[in-house]
Chain A
Amino acid sequence: MEHIRTTKVEHVKLLDRFSTSNKSLTGTLYLTATHLLFIDSLQKETWILHHHIAAVEKLALTTSGCPLVIQCKNFRIVHFIVPRERDCHDIYNSLLQLSRQAKHEDLYAFSYNPKQNESEREQGWQCINLADEYRRMGVLNSKWHLFDANRNYQICETYPIDLYVPESVNTATVVGSSKFRSKGRFPVLSYYHQDKEAAICRCSQPLSGFSARCLEDENMLEAISKTNPRNRYMYVMDTRPKLNAMANRAAGKGYENKDNYSNIRFQFVGIENIHVMRSSLQKLLEVNGTKGLSVNDFFSGLESSGWLRHIKAVLDAAIFLAKAIVVESASVLVHCSDGWDRTSQVCSLGALLLDSYYRTIKGFMVLIEKDWISFGHKFSDRCGHLDGDPKEVSPVFTQFLECVWHLTEQFPQAFEYNEAFLLQIHEHVHSCQFGNFLGNCQKEREGLKLKEKTYSLWPFLLDDQEKYLNPFYNPTSQKFAVLEPNTVPFNFKFWRNMYHQFDRTMHPRQSIFKLIMNMNDQNKQLEKEIKELEYKIKHQKNRQTDTVLNKESLLSIHPDSPALKPSLCFKKEQTLLPVNDAVRTIEGSNTADNRYSEYTEEFSKTEPAVVSLEYGVARMTC
């Protein structure tokens, strides 16, 4: 690769991010076409995908070398010290180039080869089928139908081909409505609630300005509200703050005038725009990246970043939507400005609250595929896959995942998947290793021929399902049919496992989760053994009956003869023991691992008055 000038640098130091005493690991840094790799003296490997790099920074030269700080999109921050400035400069330049590709074709997904053949790849892409999903919702009834005039993306470029609109609406109405909506994103079905016969629809803001009207658009909304026999009123949720929506009117955009539409109830929900969200996350990361952070600074930083306030706003909007459907059986139309950020958040979270299917592993994939990928959330722009406008980057999808995480915390039994699943999806949204999240809309994806040239993430996650299962999942409980989360502020917490995913020392040192998973594995193993034994016994008996006389064969009629029970129990105890031992090993609790040891050096020095203890502890004077 032309960007790589140095492939290997030795004696590089990796600093501990939160250490107050410049503790470090020494090792070798390798630069490959796709990854940056650091192998320390203990042979521990740290892999960093180039696409994950959000920023590289070269700090001022120090006596020990040239510091290089790399911030990743998965919130990993590494701090290297390269002994020679020239090497540092080379790596810095290479990383700058490698982490900012200009063309989609240069992304990892186009060279990633997981050793699958062509038919496996194709099958992988077919693993999620949205037509099936709409069928599952029960959409193909007399009221909704598949609208096929967007075959060549001629009505709306950023929508998928398959769209569902009310049966009573004709193409002319759709075209008229699309002309009255920002980016042509006319109202279409996102979710259909079969029991309540109510629909979640989505669109972009109307081009209403101060007074413009559009008859087709009004008819469109009328038609949507008529598909619902239970409630003639339909909610129109504008997910923006009112002020923003009003400001848009000056630009010829804006929001629905209630007087022009029959039977709508209009509601603002006040989620801030992508720029506010971007800077909020930026502030959050600044706060939690501080060394020796005090509790007060942490909370006041958390407050001033506004991050949790935004998360709450998104979740509140989704709850409003779910309530409209469950309590009032009303259909809801959701939009923001362009209808691909806040609208995707609110529609998908609303559906997640309403439908337990989306709380399964497969269902969650379907939900992301439907409300995010197909409806044109601009993943490439928002995640900064390519070197582009930094103002387009925003953690909209990350917020969605965080909202889901908050729900899993409140309803630990309602989700088939666990936190690791959410983190893994977050990882790959930014990794550009799979084709799913490349591009900004379906049209662009078709142009890139992603299905022919890249692999889909979903089959890989499904193959690894075991890792992502929530052991507490209770799919049968009626309690979790519709989730009604409580959004009082004290229910919102900082998501440590996301934003400090790679700062191992901050996490609990023992995991209940791992314990349960181990126990499950063990149970499976035991069950397998029981089956084998049963099989053997049967086999044995069959042999016996073959050789011995009729008299004996009577015994084999009773497979549960008391004689074999004790032997089973015995076996059970034997296999249980070693696993128990495995569970007992505690991460981070052995001498080498925890950072208290620095205290020794400090203490053994006779006079200096400062004792510094690691792990976020302040400095103490002797």
Chain B
Amino acid sequence: MEFSELIRTGRAEALLLPGPGQPPVRGTLCITSHHLLLSDGHGSPSDLWLLLRNVDAVEKRVAGNSGTITLKCKDLNILQLEIEGLEETLDIACSIEALSSLESVTTSYPFFYRPQGLRLGDSEYLHPPDDFYQQVALKTNAWRLSTVNRDFYVCASYPPALVVPCAIGDEALARSAHFRQGGRFPVLCYYHSINGTVMLRSSQPLQGANRRRCAEDELLLLEVLALGGGQGLVVDTRSAQAVKQARLTGGGTEAKAAYPGWKRLHRPLERGRPLQDSFVRLVEACTDPSLSMDRWLSRLDGCRWLTHVKEALTTASLVAQGMDREGICILVHGTEGTDATLLVTSLAQLILDPKCRTMRGFQSLLEREWIQAGHPFQQRCAHSAYTQGRPKNEAPVFLLFLDCVWQLSRQFPLSLEFGEGMLLALFDHAYASPFGTFLCNSEKERYLCEVKTKTHSLWSSLNQSKERKRLCNPIYSPNPLALWPSVEPQSLQLWAGKTSLRFHLPSLNPGSSPWLRSLTGFFHIPNSRSFLTLDSTT
């Protein structure tokens, strides 16, 4: 295998320094293609199995005839290894650096991981677009499942099957796609069965400086209003200023004159670099225990993370409120429609739809609104908060979503079937996973890499009864109502379980709410979670 060239030294004697909540391990360190192992040779439970993909940054320090390697992981854990031998230290650091930053998808670990008890191709049984369409079709026959994108020709980042108004033919869809950035024409993402209003999402229309229009696109949105009650609201996730800017480079937003019945609302949400910076600064503040109280509060304030949480929750609540209380149809988009847009549409569904709050429903929401909807996981989650390199396309949008869900779970602790453990697991798997679920940037790429047939699905693993039990909320009680969260700053909390705090507060029971844990006797052991077992591939 070509990995062998990258492994300069495969073996060394090493000591894992005790970390928060983690005993020291002394033994032999091994580097394999995808893992770092540290074992004392007795197979004790404290053996370290680290997926190299999880390593975000490597720092090395040498002194005399030994060295220390600090591994900063994407799940925000920090490991310190003392290694005997100068040469070995440098070689091992080098190998880890090389192996952890491999870009090739098809040689990544999920393509080799063959856990017991799971069958390949299991993920095929999850068919969100079909399932979703069946649900909508049960209630109304005004929508159809279009296969205009079956060969990913119309839109590279959309899945093959999409739900659109019956009255709009594939031809028109293709035209509308042409008028939208990346071909992401408006598609149905939620049908509110209580009053028949709908939520759509898309990317920005390519209006440009000379205010181009597209008849098919206008017709599509007009048809949506005809089906959904007459009033519409375009929620643009950018500021009016940013839209003006976008117009200069060929983008824009829906002009009022061109789309009668549709109003427009600008709700600027942070994305891209600023969001990544916010995440990095939050983690920096959390990993610095020497901060004074005032310093801590000002760093927490300065990183603005909770502001982003508040804005995202507010926008989602607003969308949900518009549909549920005002009976208006909603179209959400920003620029590309793959980040903040999905954040808003998925949160709004969680607020409105009790089905999304079940374990199964939440998984299919993620599959539908994040994975198949083309959130570029590979780009966004290439690095986490520790990387020293300049971020390219990284942004913790998905993490922001998980944080918002966590806020909901704090305010409505009985209403979600899954617990905090599930959210933490999703965070970890999005950044480094032995499963194929979060690989690639779109369905097209996944199709080309044959992800679905050659890797295991995270969902199958999570739905095994043992895992499921661990991730479920023991006090779940189905709640048929909408969950209207409070977004006052006093009501929002810092999610210690998300930040590296969970690795730093052993006495505090990092992770989930101490109350809940006392209740279930479920103890969240951070380290055992992030190191994945090799099973059959070793």
Contacts and interface: CB of A to CB of B under 8 A. Distances in A.
A584 B480 CA distance: 9
A584 B479 contact: yes
Interface string B494-509: 1010000100110110
Given A299-B301, A489-B297, A617 B266 contact: no
Contact of A508 (B266, B410, B484): B410
B458 to A, nearest CB: 28
B293 A309 contact: yes
Contacts of B525: none
A580 interface: yes
Given A490-B286, A510-B414, A603 B515 contact: no
B527 interface: no
B310 interface: yes
B322 A303 contact: no
Contact of B490 (A488, A500, A580): A500
Nearest to B493: A493
A510 B492 CA distance: 15
A485 to B, nearest CB: 8
Given A489-B293, A599-B326, A603-B326, A616 B263 contact: no
B491 A507 contact: yes
A620 B267 contact: yes
Q: Chain A, interface size: which category?
A: 35 or more
A412 interface: yes
A425 B490 CA distance: 23
Interface-central residue, A488, A496, A594, by most chain B CB under 10 Å: A488
Interface string A357-387: 0000000000000000000000000000000
A295 B307 contact: yes
A489 B515 contact: no
Interface of B: 240, 263-267, 286, 289, 291-298, 300-301, 304, 306-307, 309-310, 314, 317-318, 321-322, 325-326, 328, 410-415, 475, 477, 479, 481-484, 486-494, 496, 501, 504-505, 507-508, 513-516, 518-519
B486 A600 contact: no
Contacts of B490: 288, 293, 298, 494, 496, 499-500, 506
A596 interface: yes
B414 A583 contact: yes
Given A295-B306, A620-B266, A586 B481 contact: yes
Contacts of A492: 293
Nearest to A588: B484
Contact of B481 (A295, A507, A589, A618): A589
Contacts of A412: 514-515, 518
Contacts of B513: 512
Contact of B301 (A18, A300, A490): A300
Contact of B505 (A306, A486, A604, A611): A486
A505 interface: yes
Contact of B491 (A506, A597, A611, A613): A506
Contacts of A510: 411-415, 479
Given A596-B317, A599-B325, A299 B297 contact: yes
Given A508-B411, A512-B475, A599-B322, A309 B292 contact: yes
Given A308-B293, A488-B505, A615-B488, 19 more contacts: A295-B489, A298-B489, A299-B298, A303-B294, A303-B297, A484-B507, A489-B293, A490-B286, A490-B496, A505-B488, A506-B488, A509-B411, A509-B483, A512-B414, A512-B513, A584-B479, A603-B322, A615-B487, A620-B318
B318 A300 contact: no
A297 B483 CA distance: 26
Contacts of B298: 299-300, 303
B475 A599 contact: no
Interface of A: 18, 288, 293-300, 302-303, 306, 308-309, 312, 409-410, 412-413, 472, 474, 484-486, 488-494, 496, 499-500, 505-513, 515-516, 580, 583-584, 586, 588-590, 594, 596-597, 599-600, 603-604, 611, 613, 615-618, 620-622
A596 B325 contact: yes
Interface-central residue, A309, A492, A510, A588, by most chain B CB under 10 Å: A510
Nearest to B328: A603
A515 B505 CA distance: 28
Nearest to A412: B514
Closest 9 pairs between A and B when the two form their complex, measured CB to CB: A299-B301, A489-B296, A298-B489, A303-B297, A616-B488, A309-B293, A472-B518, A295-B307, A412-B514
B307 A294 contact: yes
A621 B266 contact: yes
A306 B296 contact: no
Contact of A621 (B265, B306, B326, B501): B265
A510 B483 CA distance: 10
Given A295-B306, A491-B508, A510-B415, A611 B487 contact: no
A622 B264 contact: yes
A18 B477 contact: no
Contacts of A490: 286, 296, 494, 496, 501
A506 B486 CA distance: 6
A505 B326 contact: no
Contacts of A511: 413
A594 B297 contact: no
B487 A617 contact: yes
Interface-central residue, A298, A489, A589, A620, by most chain B CB under 10 Å: A489
Contact of B297 (A308, A486, A600): A308
B209 to A, nearest CB: 23
Given A409-B514, A596-B317, A596-B321, A620 B294 contact: no
A590 B477 contact: no
B297 to A, nearest CB: 4
Contacts of B306: 295, 299
A583 to B, nearest CB: 6
Contacts of B310: 294-295
B477 A584 contact: yes
A510 B494 CA distance: 19
A472 B519 contact: yes
Contacts of A617: 314, 317-318, 487
A313 B508 CA distance: 19
Contacts of A499: 490
A589 B291 CA distance: 39
B517 to A, nearest CB: 8
B520 to A, nearest CB: 11
Given A18-B488, A589-B483, A489 B291 contact: yes
Contacts of A583: 414, 477
Contact of B518 (A413, A489, A596): A413
A589 B411 CA distance: 11
Given A515-B414, A603-B322, A622-B265, A580 B477 contact: yes
